[in-house]
Structure formats: C-alpha cells, structure tokens
Amino acid sequence: MRQGKGFTLIELMIVVAIAGILAAIAYPSYIQHVVKSNRTAAESFLLTVANRQEQYLLDARQYAGVSADPGDSTGLTTLNLTVPSNVSTNYTIKVGAVTTTPPYYKVTATPTGTQLSRDTQCGSVSIDQTGTKRISGTGSVTSCW
C-alpha cells in the first residue's frame, strides 16, 4: 500500500483559519496607517502654506487668501502653490485671510471621500497665523497633529 502525499482537509482548514485571523487583525491596522499617512501629508502641506503666508506678508503687508483676492477660489494661486496629488485626492485645502489690522489667516484641510469616513477622530485640521493648530473631530490636537 502506498502512502498518500499531500495535505489533509483539516490541515488546509487550519491554515485558512490562521490566515483569516491574521488578516482580520492586520487590515484595520493597515487602514489606520493609511489614514494617518494621508493626514500627515495634508498637515505638511498646511505648514508649507503657512510658511508662504508669512513670506507673502513680508512682501505685500497682508496675507493671501480668498477674501484678499476674490478671484482666487482657494487662496493658493496668489501664493504660487498647487495642492500635491497625494493631498488633493483626500483633502480640500482652503486658505482664508482677513485684511484687518492685525491681518489674519487660517489654512484648513477638510477630508473628502474615504478619508472623511475613516478619519472621524481628527476631521478637518487647520493652522492660523499664530501657529495654533486645530481639529474638528473628537480626538485631541496633540494626537492628530
């Protein structure tokens, strides 16, 4: 009598069960990592915009923004900036500026699409001319920034 080579059905089912358990644990962690990575890219761009705003203030004595230039729908054209593709697919960037004394601006990244539904802890992230960072979600500013 020849001994059969191969796997039994029970061995195969054990391997499938282990793979399923590992996938169930790993997938949510992966999604959270992607959400945090997308948010970090948006925050990095917000800091770039804030830096350009300060440079613009030195040159023009006002901040660039929608209310400062009504033809600029996002406030980024005046600053000669475009939103990177990895940010624009997940966030809408808005620059608001007020030309009062003292001048004021606020740059906000609002999540869109799947980022909106997955990032409920932080929501929109923003920074103003004093460097104050804010969020619209239920999490803490320190954990989101």
The whole model's pTM is what?
A: 0.80
Question: Which residues are 104's β-sheet partners?
Answer: 98
pLDDT for position 67? 53
- Along the chain (145 residues), what's the average pLDDT of each consecutive run of 10 residues? 76 93 91 95 95 89 66 71 91 83 87 92 93 93 92
Q: Domain residue spans in the chain? A: 9-143
Region 9-143: CATH code? 3.30.700
pLDDT for position 1? 59
Q: How far, in Å, CA of 85 to CA of 27, rounded?
A: 25
Identify the DSSP state of 127: E
- What's the per-residue H, E or C state across 3-27? CCCCCCHHHHHHHHHHHHHHHHHHH
End-to-end CA distance of the chain: 68
pLDDT for position 116? 92
Q: How far, in Å, CA of 122 to CA of 120, rounded?
A: 6
